[in-house]
Amino acid sequence: MTDSASHPASPASTQKAPPSRLREFWSSFKENRGAVIGLIVFLGFLFVAILAPLLAPYAPDTQYRDAQLVPPFWQEGGSTRFLLGTDAVGRDLLSRLIYGARFSFFIGLLVVTLATSLGVLLGVIAGFAPRWLDTLIMRLMDIVLSFPSLLLALVLVAILGPSLLNAMIAIAIVLQPHFVRLTRAAVLTERSKDYVIAARVAGGRPIRIMFRTVLPNCLAPIIVQAALSFSTAVLDTAALGFLGMGAQPPTPEWGTMLAEAREFILSAWWVVTFPGLCILVTVLAINLMGDGLRDALDPKLKRS
Amino acid sequence: MALLEIRNLSVDFATHSGQFRAVDGVDVTVDEGDLLAIVGESGSGKSVSMLALMGLLPWTATVTADKLEFDGQDLRTISARARRRIVGKDISMIFQEPMSSLNPAFTIGWQIKESLRKHTDMTRSQRQDRAVELMRQVGIPAPEKRLQAYPHQLSGGMSQRAMIAMALANKPKLLIADEPTTALDVTIQAQILELLTGLQQETGMALVLITHDMGVVAETVQRVQVQYAGQRVELQEVGGLFQNPHHPYTAALLAALPERATEKRLPTIPGVVPGQFDRPAGCLFSPRCSFADARCIAQRPSPAGPELGRALCHYPLIDGQPTGKESAA
Amino acid sequence: MSEAILTAKNLKRHYEVKGGFLKPDATVRALDGASFTLTPGKTLAVVGESGSGKSTLARVVTMIEPPTEGDLIIGGRKIGPEGASGDRDLRAMVQIVFQDPYGSLNPRQTIGQTLMEPLLLNRPEVSAAERETRARDMLAMVGLRPEHFERYPHMFSGGQRQRVAVARALMLEPKILVLDEPVSALDLSIQSQVLNLLMDLQERMDLAYLFISHDLSVVRHIADEVLVLYLGQPVEIGPKQAIFEAPRHPYTKALLSATPVADPALRKERIKLEGELPSPMNKPQGCSFNPRCWRRQDVCTKVEPELQGQGHCFACHNPIPLDETEAA
């Protein structure tokens, strides 16, 4: 007879083990071609942002008075000295865009971190809190959500005073209700599950159950939301910059660059087109990546 | 001629980690007025094979069969349109969760009448009469009133009765009941089983009962088909199956029933049903079988004759003893 | 007989349901007066249909929820309406195993972390190395392999997960284990493995089991005593033998009769119960079983019956006579 009959309790140990979570995630993520392209573009921008001083041919705010509004090199009058041309005061557009990537990533990262941590904290509390506190938090969030987000951000900046940091704080405040709602909903479904009750029976204190037991199981939708909020943050900062309420000139922030170049739309197309393209491509890449993340992480959409 | 004939049906699912064979060469034959149970544990492919017949599988599934015939029509080559004419009229199905199988946005009456609207040319008042008649037939009190009710206003047992009424609307020739009582309490289960067998006798339709509960099988059906890991391992009359199972899996399963236990320690089947990653090369039951030898591990068995319950085994059991071992040795 | 480790007297748990607009508040009497004792090494099975209060009983005994009324005495200490919050020793005495092995393990914790968590929380004096040793020993005790320690729950089958759930419940060396339908989500071939494990562990650790189930054939195999609940009220309680062979309450008899027997030679005429379980918000007058009972008398619709009898008790005005029960 066989040995397998005497130790049959775990046939899996001799055969191929099922794939690990990470591998399963990656295999379903890479199936989505748009998401992979988004990821590559995103990583490309990240690379540029980190290595900006090495990649940029010039400093972003050096003005070359002899070369104002020089077109890109392939156009008549352009030269390879300034690959993408210069702006009205003779700054190299390419260098400004490369440095601008830094700002965009910094903004995205900070805003998302701020909005996520605050939103998740409030969401977990709301999910576990007694009814009155839950109601209080959620109605507050409803109030924030009932304003057009950009308008609210504008008002906040107007109160705090226009600067890049204030713009970021304003955008974070506008974004965090989404995290609160999402987290609360996830917490409510998780907290009724048996493993949470088991942790309580095992003697877990409320704080531990909230953050060690339940929260890690709510992370998938939050990660997706964070990725998608990254693009909203970049876009909103650009919008605030464009309206003159965000980063102040001469900061090479893409939205501010757009605003500065507004008057040259007809005469020098490149000063508006390239910053706009950068915003478009970054936001599109992040959204594609976020969609891929959702498909791979959200079990409700998962094919089984 | 058989009402339903399935030969060598296989269903494969595409998953992230490769193909998964959920149904592996299953045969099913159902005669008119037949009362057949398909028994198996989770992962035995008992539901999937019937869903394949109905054309209700997701797009990740690939269905192959040598023969897939219902009432003389080949379901493999039939158009989607023609299939829809059969499914819901001549074949209907009821499911495990009555609460989620009814659409919560419409009344019970609307849902029963919808299938009449699709498959018959009855007038409005004829449909109403038929709906009331159906509700009465499945034992729902005050049918006129209940037709106006929404699913959430009915209990589990009542919802299942409504589901049955809906399935019976077009006088099907074949009713497939997929674990119809698993979600219900025993006293309600008894009512529903009684209703189903009563209706089967009354209307002469064939009934296929998919279940995992040996007790339900013993009390309800005539013929039993046992499935394991996507294969049919045995097919027998219900009396013979419980008295003299020919496949070691059936025998082990029956022995594991607490009510058949003779001592405190229950006989067990070691191990688990093979999954996607640990499918044995030979007989799929060989890693768990107490009679398995080298031949079982290496070679796939072929089904025995009808006198041995078509047992998918190299050494079919007779009275609990394996046969044919000497000749192989 | 050894001393009772848990005594419940007239245990009640009610829920207030807030009425909406124009709707008065209502009380759901989920558990309405259960009395029983648990003894080390013995199993009390609780049977009943959904809505009978089985799971509420489990939650009260596990001290997840305090009783609304009645006495719950565990290991000589009384648990009142204020519950047992903060009393670690008391909490550690009663542990629970849930029905659904897929929902009862934290998907983000390895099996090892899951097993060590109760020790980490309740026995801070135990060193990390000792914790791991104990968890590994427990893993072996429930029949799992050492390499399973590092794995995550999604890599396990239902039966293996249920073994892990049992192991976790035993980490604090409880005296009482509440088993809430521990095998009903498992396949038949796995069910017997888990039942055997539970019986072995009971013998080895002298555990008292509160075994909640709707499957009477499992109950018949594993129980010493049986408590039958109907709409939150005990209708019959007694030794297994008595309940199965000579049920006195009509509901118990109907329940037994409705349970399918896995023997086609024994097909029998069932006692058909009319109708379904009424809502616990609006129980019938008198005996709560009376609208479905075939032995109903006038008194049943007016007066609520009391539990009567010694050892084998039942709450019925018109119990099935002893000589008639033999036929069942």
- Tell me the pLDDT tens digit for each residue of C53-90: 888 999 899 888 888 888 889 888 888 776 665 677 88
Among A95, A113, A106, A115, residue whose Cα is nearest residue A165: A106
Cβ within 8 Å, pair B16-A5: no
What is the per-residue pLDDT for A301? 44
Which of the pair, A294 or B10, is modelled with greater confidence? B10
* A12 has a chain B CB within 8 A of its CB: yes
Whether the Cβ atoms of residue B281 and residue B297 lie closer than 8 Å to each other: yes
- SS3 at position B309: coil
Among C109, B161, B317, residue whose Cα is nearest residue A202: C109
Say which residues have a Cβ less than 8 Å from residue B312's Cβ, sequence separation at least 6: B231, B232, B233, B234, B247, B283, B301, B302, B303, B304
Interatomic CA distance for residues A231 and A226, integer angstroms: 9
Whether the Cβ atoms of residue B162 and residue C229 lie closer than 8 Å to each other: no
State the Cα angle at C232 between C226 and C236, rounded to 5°.
30
Interatomic CA distance for residues C70 and B326, integer angstroms: 68
DSSP string, B152-172: GGS-HHHHHHHHHHHHHTT--
Indicate whether B310 pLDDT > 60. Answer: yes
* C154 has a chain A CB within 8 A of its CB: yes
Could you report how far apart the first and last alpha carbons of chain C are, in Å? Answer: 30
Interatomic CA distance for residues B309 and B247, integer angstroms: 8
* B307 has a chain C CB within 8 A of its CB: no
What is the per-residue pLDDT for A5? 36
Interatomic CA distance for residues A242 and C276, integer angstroms: 68
Q: How far is B290 from chain A (nearest CA, A)?
A: 7
Whether the Cβ atoms of residue A256 and residue A237 lie closer than 8 Å to each other: no
The residue in chain C having the minimum alpha-carbon distance to the alpha carbon of residue A204 is C121
Query: Which of B60, B278, B293, B315 should one mutate to test binding to chain A, selecting the residue with the greatest count of A CBs within 10 A?
Result: B278
The residue in chain C having the minimum alpha-carbon distance to the alpha carbon of residue B267 is C192
- Per-residue pLDDT of B195-253, as tens digits, reads 999 999 999 999 999 999 998 999 889 999 999 999 999 999 999 999 999 999 999 99
B252-262: string of b/e by CB count within 10 Å (b at 16+)? Answer: bbbbbbbbbbe
C-chain residues near B39 (CB < 8 A): none
What is the per-residue pLDDT for A16? 45
What is the C-alpha radius of gyration for chain A, rounded to an integer number of angstroms?
25
A53 forms beta bridges with none
- Per-residue pLDDT of C80-139, as tens digits, reads 776 665 677 888 899 999 988 888 898 888 899 999 999 998 888 889 999 999 999 999
Q: Is A104 exposed, middle or buried (0-12, 13-18, 19+ CB in 10 A)?
A: buried
3-state SS string over chain A? Answer: CCCCCCCCCCHHHCCCCCCCHHHHHHHHHCCCHHHHHHHHHHHHHHHHHHCHHHHCCCCCCCCCCCCCCCCCCCCCCCCCCCCCCECCCCCEHHHHHHHHHHHHHHHHHHHHHHHHHHHHHHHHHHHHCCHHHHHHHHHHHHHHHCCCHHHHHHHHHHHHCCCHHHHHHHHHHHHHHHHHHHHHHHHHHHHCCHHHHHHHHCCCCHHHHHHHHHHHHHHHHHHHHHHHHHHHHHHHHHHHHHCCCCCCCCCCCHHHHHHHCHHHCCCCHHHHHHHHHHHHHHHHHHHHHHHHHHHHHCCCCCCC
State the Cα angle at B280 between B276 and B284, rounded to 5°.
95
Among A161, A180, A127, A120, residue whose Cα is nearest residue A246: A161
Q: What is the mean pLDDT of residues B76-100?
A: 86
Among A142, A140, A137, A164, residue whose Cα is nearest residue A153: A164
Cβ within 8 Å, pair A193-C165: no
What is the per-residue pLDDT for B228? 92
> What tens-digit pLDDT sequence spans chain A (304 residues)?
333 333 334 333 334 455 566 777 787 788 888 889 999 998 998 888 888 888 878 887 778 777 777 777 787 777 777 778 777 777 888 888 888 888 888 888 899 999 999 999 999 999 998 889 999 999 999 998 888 888 888 888 888 888 888 888 888 999 999 999 999 999 999 988 889 988 888 888 888 889 888 998 888 888 888 888 888 888 888 888 888 887 777 788 888 888 888 788 888 888 888 888 888 898 889 888 888 887 777 654 443 3
Query: Which of B217, B226, B266, B285 should one mutate to test binding to chain C, selecting the residue with the greatest count of C CBs within 10 A?
Result: B266
What is the per-residue pLDDT for A304? 35
* C165 has a chain A CB within 8 A of its CB: yes
Q: How far is A31 from chain B (nearest CA, A)?
A: 9
Cβ within 8 Å, pair A12-B290: no
User: How far, rounded to the nearest angstrom, does the alpha carbon of residue B102 sit from its chain's CA centroid?
Assistant: 20
* A23 has a chain C CB within 8 A of its CB: no
Q: How far is A20 from chain B (nearest CA, A)?
A: 11
What is the per-residue pLDDT for C101? 86
Q: Which of C92, C143, C165 has its CB closest to that of A9? A: C143
Indicate whether C40 pLDDT > 90. Answer: yes
| Range in A65-74, C177-186, C309-318 the model is least confident about | A65-74
B-chain residues near A27 (CB < 8 A): 16-17
- Per-residue pLDDT of B241-260, as tens digits, reads 999 999 999 999 999 898 88
Reported as a pLDDT band with limits 50, 70 and 90, residue C19 is low
Whether the Cβ atoms of residue C198 and residue C224 lie closer than 8 Å to each other: no
Walk across the sheet containing C208-213 and list its strands.
Answer: C94-97, C176-180, C208-213, C43-47, C225-230, C233-239, C313-314
Question: Which residues numbered 231-260 in A keep a CB inside 8 Å of some CB on B?
Answer: none
Q: How far is A12 from chain C (nearest CA, A)?
A: 9
Query: Which of C157, C188, C200 should one mutate to test binding to chain B, selecting the residue with the greatest count of B CBs within 10 A?
Result: C188
Percent of chain B with pLDDT over 90: 36
C-chain residues near A204 (CB < 8 A): 117, 121
The token duo for A223 is: 């990660």
Interatomic CA distance for residues A186 and A224, integer angstroms: 13
Question: Which residues numbered 30-89 in A keep a CB inside 8 Å of some CB on B?
Answer: 31
Q: How far is A208 from chain C (nearest CA, A)?
A: 10
Q: How far is C54 from chain B (nearest CA, A)?
A: 13
Interatomic CA distance for residues A208 and A248, integer angstroms: 44
- Per-residue pLDDT of A9-40, as tens digits, reads 433 333 445 556 677 778 778 888 888 999 99
Interatomic CA distance for residues C306 and C32, integer angstroms: 12
B-chain residues near C193 (CB < 8 A): 268-270
Q: Which of B15, B278, B292 has its CB closest to that of A5? A: B292
Whether the Cβ atoms of residue B310 and residue B303 lie closer than 8 Å to each other: yes
Q: Are strands B35-39 and C26-38 parallel, antiparallel or unpaired?
A: unpaired
Q: Which of B17, B276, B278 has its CB closest to that of A11? A: B278
Query: Which of C144, C189, C253 should one mutate to test binding to chain B, selecting the residue with the greatest count of B CBs within 10 A?
Result: C189
B-chain residues near C161 (CB < 8 A): none
Tokens 């077109």 belong to: A71
Whether the Cβ atoms of residue B229 and residue B43 lie closer than 8 Å to each other: yes
The backbone torsions φ and ψ at residue C32, rounded to the nearest 5 degrees and listed phi first, read -135, 70
Q: Which of B188, B218, B267 has its CB closest to that of C192? A: B267
What is the per-residue pLDDT for C116? 93
* B58 has a chain A CB within 8 A of its CB: yes
* C184 has a chain B CB within 8 A of its CB: no
Cβ within 8 Å, pair C168-A201: no
Say which residues have a Cβ less than 8 Å from residue C228's Cβ, sequence separation at least 6: C47, C48, C234, C235, C236, C237, C243, C249, C251, C252, C255
Interatomic CA distance for residues C18 and C23, integer angstroms: 8
* C187 has a chain B CB within 8 A of its CB: yes
Residue type, C6: L
Inter-helix orientation angle B124-137/B108-119, to 10°: 120
The residue in chain B having the minimum alpha-carbon distance to the alpha carbon of residue C159 is B272
Q: Which of B266, B272, B273 has its CB closest to that of C192? A: B266
Most confident segment among B156-170, C1-15, C259-273: B156-170
Interatomic CA distance for residues A296 and A293, integer angstroms: 5
Say which residues have a Cβ less than 8 Å from residue A51's Cβ, sequence separation at least 6: none
Beta-strand (E) ranges in chain B? 4-15, 18-30, 35-39, 61-64, 67-70, 73-74, 91-94, 174-178, 206-211, 223-228, 231-237, 317-318, 321-322
Reported as a pLDDT band with limits 50, 70 and 90, residue B271 is confident
* A262 has a chain C CB within 8 A of its CB: no
Say which residues have a Cβ less than 8 Å from residue B91's Cβ, sequence separation at least 6: B53, B54, B70, B172, B173, B174, B175, B176
Q: Kindly state the DSSP code that residue C62 receives in the 8-state scheme.
A: T
Whether the Cβ atoms of residue C152 and residue A18 lie closer than 8 Å to each other: no
Q: Are strands C225-230 and B206-211 parallel, antiparallel or unpaired?
A: unpaired
Interatomic CA distance for residues C126 and C140, integer angstroms: 20
The chains found to touch B (3+ Cβ pairs under 8 angstroms) are A, C
What is the per-residue pLDDT for B10? 92
Question: Which residues numbered 222-281 in C keep a CB inside 8 Å of some CB on A?
Answer: none
Say which residues have a Cβ less than 8 Å from residue C116's Cβ, sequence separation at least 6: C131, C132, C135, C171
* CA distances in angstroms from B45 to A273, B175, B211, B224, B310, listed in the order given: 59, 18, 11, 15, 18
* B258 has a chain A CB within 8 A of its CB: no
Interatomic CA distance for residues C232 and C254, integer angstroms: 18
Query: Which of A132, A194, A212, A215 should one mutate to test binding to chain C, selecting the residue with the greatest count of C CBs within 10 A?
Result: A194
Number of Cβ pairs < 8 A linking chain A and chain B: 49
| CATH no. for A31-299 | 1.10.3720.10
C-chain residues near B275 (CB < 8 A): 157
Indicate whether C20 pLDDT > 70. Answer: no
Residue type, C17: V
